[in-house]
Amino acid sequence: MQIRILLILLLVLHHSVSLAAGDKKHGKEYYRVRKVVDGDTFWIDDGSEKGVKVRLIGVDAPESRNTGTKEIAYFGKESTDYLTKLIGGKKVRLEYDADRYDKYGRTLAYVYLEDGTFINSKLVRDGYANVMTIPPNVKYAGTFLKMERKARNQKRGMWK
């Protein structure tokens, strides 16, 4: 009897963790954004206690805070605020390229909202990030470069 209760509790706990990790829609898994760190980095809830730190592939937003090696940059706060407005508290889907992690252990991803909005692309297109291509993650490099040129020419975001 006690073993059955224990097994039932374990199944319920496993199901709860699976639900917290992400919702599946049309075979795609979505994760709730816990916290935006800056204009190109954020945390998702994957069901673990800590969550997962995600770094957007192909883009580089200006620094929004002083770190050991970098200082606050022009348009850094605006980029962070923009990403927070776009994804803060929302559910996102991650798409990977050749490398899944960077040298800091962050998950590298192309990120999509449930409505299909491609976040990496939107940041560049609207002038809140510039292109940063690090091979072998080059899937959208050409597209991002075209978008950055257009944002500069149209004086969007940081290019005003």
The string of pLDDT tens digits covering residues 117-148 is 999 999 999 999 999 999 999 999 999 999 99
Looking at residue 63, its pLDDT comes to 73
pLDDT of 9: 39
Give the model's confidence band at 72: pLDDT under 50 very low, under 70 low, under 90 confident, else very high: low
**Of residues 155 and 10, which shows the higher confidence score?**
155
Report how far residue 58's alpha carbon sits from residue 46's, in angstroms, rounded to the nearest whole number.
23
From the options 2.40.50.90, 2.60.120.200, 2.70.150.10, 2.60.120.260, give the CATH code of 22-159. 2.40.50.90
Q: What percent of the chain has pLDDT over 70?
A: 76
**Residue 101's pLDDT band (boundaries 50, 70, 90)?**
very high
Res 153: pLDDT: 97
More confident residue, 17 or 93: 93
Token digits of residue 102: 């960077």
Per-residue b or e along 94-107, where b marks 16 or more CB atoms closer than 10 Å to that residue's CB: beebeeeeeeeebb
Half-sphere exposure in the Cβ direction for 15 (13 Å, CA) = 6
Q: Which residues are catalytically annotated? A: 55, 63, 106
| Digit-coded pLDDT (tens) for 8-58 | 433 434 444 444 445 665 568 999 999 999 999 999 999 999 999 999 999
